[in-house]
Amino acid sequence: MKGFVNIVVICAILICSRVPEAQVTNLTFPENFTLGSATSSYQIEGAWNISDKGENIWDWWTHNYPENIADGSNGDIACNSYYNYKEDVQILKDIGFDFYRFSISWSRVLPNGFANEISEEGIQYYKNLTEELLANDIEPVVSIYHWDHPLILEELGGWTNELMVEWFADYARVIFEELGPLVKTFITINEPSVYCSNGYNSTRHSPGKILENMGHYICIHNTLKAHATVYHMYNDEFRSEQQGQIGLTTACDGWFSNDDSNATLINQAFQFNCGWVAHPLFVGDYPEILKTRIAMISELEGYPFSRLPEFSDEWVEYINGTADFFGLNHYTSYVVSADPDEESGIYNIDSGIIKSVNTSYPHGSLSWMYDTPEGFGNLLRMIRDEYDNPPVHVYENGYCDLGELNDYARITYYNGYMTELLSVIQNDSCNVVRYTAWSLLDNFEWSDGYTVNFGIVSVNFTDPDRARSSKLSTSWWKSVMQTRTVQDVPTSV
C-alpha cells in the first residue's frame, strides 16, 4: 500500500494503562453496532476539472475568493482520492472499519447541474469506489449532497430558489438508479444548518451571501422540502427493490451546565440549534419557540412577515416522518446563557442564547473545538426524549489538531466520546446504533483550508501523489476494531 506506513501494535511500543476487567467489558460495543469513518467529495477527491466535471460553488469560491480561506488554498487536488481511492479503501480495510461514508460530487455526475446531461465517467468513478468497498467487505454509506452543488444552480439562486427542490430530486434519482442497487444507506443532505448559516447568512462558506438575516431560513426551508421529496421518491420508486434506508444528517451541539443554565434555556438552545432541522422530520413543523420568537423579532424590526418561512399544512405532513434514522454530526458542547440585553427589550439574536465555553476543558486547534464528552451524553438523552428514541447514526465525530503523528489528544477525545456513547446506550437506553470517525484522512477543511487536521491518517499535501501515512490514532482505531472495545489512551514510553 503506497505511502501507508503501518505502526507496530500500540502496546508493543507504548505503555498502556490497565483498566479493570468489568470496566473493559462495559466498553465493548453491542453485537450489531457498526463503526466507520467518513469523508466528503470536495474535501478529498481533487481532479476538480477532470473529464467533463462542471464547476461547483467551492471551486468558484476558492478560486475567486482565496482570502476567505485561512491559507488561501483550495480543493483542486486535495487528497487526490479521485486517483487514490483504491489505496483509501485498503486503509479502511486494514483498520477494519465496517463502513465508509463518502459523498457524491453533484457537478461530477451532472456537469451542468441538470439531469439532461449525465457524465458517464463521473458515475463510473463512484461505481468503481462502491464496488471496491463491497469487494473488501466494507459497507458504502452514500451522502448525495455535502455542500458542493454546481455553480450554475447557485447563479439561479441556489438553496434560496424553491426550484432547487426539483433539481435536487432529479439529481437524486440518477444516484438511486445508478448506485442504489449497490448501496443500502443513503444520506440525502449533510448538515443543512451549517451550509445555510455559513453560506446564506455569512461569508464564512460558499456562496458567501448575507441575505437580510433570512437567507439561511429560506435555505433550510427549501432543503427540508428537497429532502422530503427525495425520501418519498425513494419510498415510492426504489425502496421495495433496493431495500435500503435513507435520512439526512444534522449538526447538533451539546451542552454542559453552569450556574446560569436551566431547563428552559437548554431547551431553547437545543431547538434553535438541533430542532430547527430535526423537529420538522420527527415531530412536524418548526419548533414553536422558533416560530414565536422569530415572528416577534421580525415584527420589532419592521418586517410585515416573519423572517422564518411558514410551511403549509400539506408540507408539514409531507416532511414529517421522512427519516429512517436520526443522522447526527457532533463535535463539541457549550454552556448556554440568556442574552442579558433582552431584559431591556433589545433582541440581538433570534435564539436569545449566548454560548460560552469552560476554558479549563482541553481543546483542539480550532477555537471552538473543546473536548466535552459529557455534553455528548446530554445531547443524546435529549434526542431520545424529544423524538421518541429514534435509531441514531452518529455520522461525524472527531478532533482537530495541527497534524501530529503522535496524536494523543485525538485518541483521548475518541476514548472519551465513545465511552460516553456506550454509557448512554447501557445506562440510559439511548438507541444509538452507528458511530463514524471524522475523518479518515487529513483533508481540505473548508474555510480553514489545510491549517487544521481531523484525519486519523496523515496526508502529505506537498507530495504530488499525496502520500498517506499512519498516525498513532490509526493503530488505536485498528485495536478498537479488532476487539470491538474502546481502548485505553496510551502513554508514551
Residues noted as catalytic: 191, 396
Best CA proximity match to 105, nearest among 167, 42, 151: 42
Q: Beta strand 457-459 with 468-470: parallel, antiparallel or unpaired?
A: antiparallel
Q: What share of the chain is helix, strand, coil (3-state, %, to 5)?
A: 45, 15, 40
Best CA proximity match to 372, nearest among 471, 492, 490, 257: 257
Amino acid 173 reads R
Residue with cell string 454509506: 141
| Cα 288 to Cα 176, 230, 294, 431, distances in angstroms | 35, 26, 10, 26
Amino acid 323 reads A
Enumerate the β-bridge partners of residue 396.
329
**DSSP letters along 460-488, please?**
-TTSTT--EEE-HHHHHHHHHHHHTBPPP
What nine digits make up the cell of 110?
451532472
Enumerate the β-bridge partners of residue 468.
459
Q: Which H/E stretch holds residue 124?
A: helix 120-135
Best CA proximity match to 4, nearest among 486, 458, 380, 433: 458
**How far is 268 from 162, CA to CA, in rounded Å?**
28
Interaxial angle between packed helices 163-179 and 120-135, expressed in degrees from 0 to 180 and rounded to the nearest 10? 50
**How far is 327 from 390, CA to CA, in rounded Å?**
10
**DSSP letters along 136-180, please?**
TT-EEEEEEESS--BHHHHHTTGGGSTHHHHHHHHHHHHHHHHHT
Amino acid 368 reads W
